[in-house]
């Protein structure tokens, strides 16, 4: 046992999933924000550096981490504070820009460093989030002409509901709005600008050579998670492979008498003599408190129910179905053991959220090991 608790990442699965979603007519950028959706940014970069054309991160801290491993093109999707723009340009980060106030700082950083900064114009095409509204584009481009040292390499947007395969009407409206905005940019003096709009879900249902996107941003699919339940049914042929196992080990095994409380709040009381195990993980590690009295883990290949409330650093499980369990035996919180598996989707359903959140919230302090 190298670690008491760890997140194990399957290198072959990450690479398989990336290949399964890679399209021959586009470049592939792997989205590794939020600690690579909980899988470990450094681990994901090391595993995928030879399989993708670039990476996409959220912030300057993630860009710094990427640059410690690779020099491949890296798009910074989120906001970079003014004080950090120079560092981002020094590290050759390609910046998402969506307001004219950022242009001067980017240009100044480029001049200071002797570089020509690359930017991607983020267009808010009916998403209502980060980005420049289409009607604001002409004014932005007029200002951009004052900064010829800045290279506008791409414009992009993001879908808001394309994973709902029963109704793609809004996605079609977004594509139309984005295409119209691209035409304005091209007619304004940037005829060869690249475009991108597809993340994993759009790669599955929208992307094709005639769309004209030069790159795609692969995120959740790389990590074996389908963007939605309908897509998991319609795209089973992709055969996405689970990439994560979250494991711990039993810190104690003992028997409690009947009518004995378990954990804070006395929310569970044994009805009979019960063998229990103590798992040294808790909500501070990302194991959600909502799994109190309803979660399950795997021990010796069988499901063992969570008893009582999840605490900050530990919780109890019922070992009735695993009577041979001993201290330091492996416990799987997420992933497979034997012929069974605990999935992010089932955890999400129990706590009323989405599977993205389940994996992204696993503590970055837990070791990530490649298997």
User: Among all residues, which ones are annotated catalytic?
Assistant: 33, 264
* Backbone phi and psi for residue 289, each to the nearest 5 degrees, phi listed first: -65, -20
Distance CA 132, CA 27 (A): 24
**Element at 212 (helix H, strand E):** none
* Backbone phi and psi for residue 266, each to the nearest 5 degrees, phi listed first: 55, 40
Rg (CA), the chain: 24
For CA atoms 170, 211, 150, 30, the dihedral sign is positive
**Element at 170 (helix H, strand E):** helix 169-187
Q: 43 is written with which tokens?
A: 């681990």
Q: Let me know: does 17 contact 243? Beta carbons within 8 Å.
A: yes
Q: 29 is written with which tokens?
A: 């950028």
* Backbone phi and psi for residue 132, each to the nearest 5 degrees, phi listed first: -90, 130
Strands 27-31 and 6-9: unpaired
**320 half-sphere exposure, CB direction, 13 A CA radius:** 11
Distance CA 205, CA 164 (A): 10
List C-alpha distances in Å: 304 to 187, 230, 275, 321, 331: 63, 29, 11, 7, 10
Q: Let me know: does 283 contact 306? Beta carbons within 8 Å.
A: no
Strands 74-76 and 93-97: parallel
Distance CA 228, CA 205 (A): 12
Nearest to 23 by CA among 227, 216, 220: 216
Beta-carbon neighbour count of residue 110 at 10 Å?
Answer: 21
Beta-carbon neighbour count of residue 53 at 10 Å?
Answer: 14
């Amino acid at each position: 046992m190298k670690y008491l608790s760890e997140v194990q990442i399957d290198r072959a699965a990450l690479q398989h999933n990336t290949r399964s979603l890679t399209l021959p007519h586009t470049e592939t950028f792997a989205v590794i924000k939020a600690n690579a959706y909980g899988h470990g940014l450094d681990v994901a970069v090391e595993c995928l550096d030879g399989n993708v054309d670039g990476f996409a991160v959220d912030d300057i801290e993630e860009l710094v981490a990427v640059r410690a491993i690779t020099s491949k093109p890296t798009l910074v999707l989120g906001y970079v504070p003014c004080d950090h723009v120079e560092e981002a340009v020094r590290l050759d980060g390609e910046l998402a820009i969506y307001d004219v106030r950022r242009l001067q700082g980017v240009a100044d950083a480029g001049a200071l460093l002797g570089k020509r900064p690359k930017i991607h114009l983020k267009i808010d095409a009916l998403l209502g989030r980060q980005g420049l509204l289409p009607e604001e584009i002409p004014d932005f481009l007029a200002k951009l002409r004052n900064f010829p040292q800045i290279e506008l390499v791409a414009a992009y947007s993001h879908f808001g509901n394309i994973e709902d395969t029963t109704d793609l009407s809004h996605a079609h409206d977004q594509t139309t709005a984005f295409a119209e905005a691209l035409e304005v940019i091209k007619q304004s003096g940037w005829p060869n600008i690249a475009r991108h709009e597809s993340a994993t879900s759009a790669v599955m249902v929208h992307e094709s050579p005639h769309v004209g996107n030069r790159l795609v941003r692969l995120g959740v699919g790389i990590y074996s998670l389908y963007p939605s339940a309908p897509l998991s049914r319609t795209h089973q042929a992709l055969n996405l492979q689970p990439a994560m196992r979250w494991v711990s080990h039993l810190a104690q095994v003992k028997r409690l008498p009947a009518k004995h409380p378990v954990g804070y709040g006395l929310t569970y009381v044994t009805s009979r003599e019960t063998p229990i195990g103590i798992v040294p993980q808790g909500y501070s590690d990302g194991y959600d408190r909502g799994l109190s009295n309803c979660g399950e883990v795997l021990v010796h290949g069988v499901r063992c129910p969570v008893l009582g409330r999840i605490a900050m650093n530990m919780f109890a499980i019922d070992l009735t179905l695993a009577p041979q369990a001993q201290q330091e035996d492996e416990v799987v919180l997420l992933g497979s053991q034997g012929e069974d598996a605990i999935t992010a989707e089932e955890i999400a359903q129990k706590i009323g959220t989405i599977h993205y959140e389940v994996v992204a919230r696993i503590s970055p302090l837990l070791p990530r090991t490649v298997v």
